[in-house]
Amino acid sequence: TGAQRREARQIAAAAAQAYNTGNFEEALAQYERAYEVFPAPQLQFNLGQCHRELGNHERTVFFLERYLEELPTAPNRETVLELVAEARAAIAETERAAEEARQQAEEARQQEAARVAAAHQIEMARQQEELRRQEAERFAILRRAEAESGPEVYEEWWFWTLIGAVVAAAV
């Protein structure tokens, strides 16, 4: 209706003022309100422009393509197609950068895992070396104790002599 169109124009005028002063979020909110009052295709172009300024590339493509769908013979069609191409390129760049960041994070995770594994191997080798050292020390202590205690009783000459005398006496 005419009243809705006038109201939408007033809201759009406030949105244009906000856009021209660089207040793109306010402009976006006003253009959305204007579109709710009267859904004119030109408002979709304005919504696309606000989203472009805010870096919302997917939303930019959405609104600009909708604008061209509703106004296929729009006088600014070539400009709109260029803006859509720019937004799609920005989306592709964002996706490429995100993939690169994911790859870098994975490489860092793998490097950290390798570092942890190497540190674990070094610690295991150190522990094994410590066990070998302790075992050698125990063995050396036992050898010294054996050497200090002298021969066992059954290794002495007099023990066998005594056994022989007992056996001879018993026979």
**In the numeric block, which tokens belong to residue 69?**
């769908």
User: What's the pLDDT at 146?
Assistant: 76
User: What's the pLDDT at 168?
Assistant: 94
Q: What is the pTM of this model?
A: 0.65
User: What's the pLDDT at 143?
Assistant: 86
Using alpha carbons, select from 43, 42, 76, 82 the residue that is nearest to residue 61. 82
The tens place of each residue's pLDDT in the chain, 171 residues long, gives 899 999 999 999 999 999 999 999 999 999 999 999 999 999 999 999 999 999 999 999 999 999 999 999 999 999 999 999 999 999 999 999 999 999 999 999 999 999 999 999 999 999 999 999 999 999 999 888 877 777 777 788 888 899 999 999 998
User: What's the pLDDT at 29?
Assistant: 98
User: What's the pLDDT at 114?
Assistant: 96
Using alpha carbons, select from 76, 25, 18, 83 the residue that is nearest to residue 57. 83
What distance in Å separates the CA atoms of residue 20 and residue 29, rounded to the nearest whole number?
14
